[in-house]
Amino acid sequence: MHVPKYLKYSKDHEWANYDEDEGVVIVGITEYAQSKIGDITYVELPEEGDDTEKGTSFAEIEHHKGVEEVYSPVSGRVFEVNDALSESPELINQDPYEDGWLVKIEPGDLSELDEMMDAEEYEEYLSELQEED
C-alpha cells in the first residue's frame, strides 16, 4: 500500500497536503480507501466558495456497493474542485494522490492539520485495521 510521506492522514482515510504556494489544503482519499471502495462510478463535490467544517461531510463517492461520505480534514472555504472527476471519477482509483484529488480548501486554521496522522502513524493504523480483518 502506497502511503506518501509528505501527506497527512485521517482515520477516515482522507489525505491532506498544504500547498504553501497557493495557500490551500489539497484533499483526497487514500489508496487504502479507494481499494476498499472498489470501482468509483460518481463523485459529488461541493461548490467552489462553499464553507467546510473540520470533521463534517463535504463530498460523496458512489460505487457499485453504495455511497461513502468524505470528511473535511480542515475548516475553511472550498477554493477549487477537481472538475475532471465529473467526467472521469475513476481517476481516484487510478491515482488517488495526484490526478484523483477532490478539493482544495483555503484553511481557516492550519493547526487543524497537526491533529492528523503523519505517514508513519497512518501505516501503523492500517496495520491495526488489517489485523482486525
Mean pLDDT of 45-49: 98
Q: Is residue 3 part of a domain?
A: no
Any idea what the Cα angle at residue 35 is, between residues 87 and 125, rounded to 5°? Answer: 130
3 state DSSP class of 111? helix
pLDDT value at position 131?
Answer: 84
Please determine, for residue 13, whether its predicted confidence score (pLDDT) is greater than 90: yes
The answer to whether residue 35 sits within a structural domain is: yes
Strands in the chain per DSSP E: 8-9, 14-19, 24-29, 40-44, 51-52, 57-63, 66-71, 76-81, 103-107
In-domain check, residue 77? yes
pLDDT for res 10: 97
52 and 46 Cβ atoms separated by less than 8 Å: yes
CATH code for the domain in which residue 126 is found:
2.40.50.100
Half-sphere exposure of 40 (CA within 13 A, CB side): 27
Q: Across residues 20-42, what is the average pLDDT?
A: 97
- CA–CA gap between residue 61 and residue 4 (Å, rounded): 22
Query: Which residue segment(s) compose the domain that 95 sits in?
Result: 8-132
Confidence of residue 1 (pLDDT cuts 50, 70, 90): confident
Q: For the chain, how many structural domains are there in total?
A: 1
Separation between Cα atoms, residue 27 and residue 70, nearest integer Å:
10
Give the global pTM: 0.95
Grid coordinates representing 113 are 492539520
Is residue 22 within 8 Å of 31, Cβ to Cβ?
no
In a domain, 102, yes or no: yes
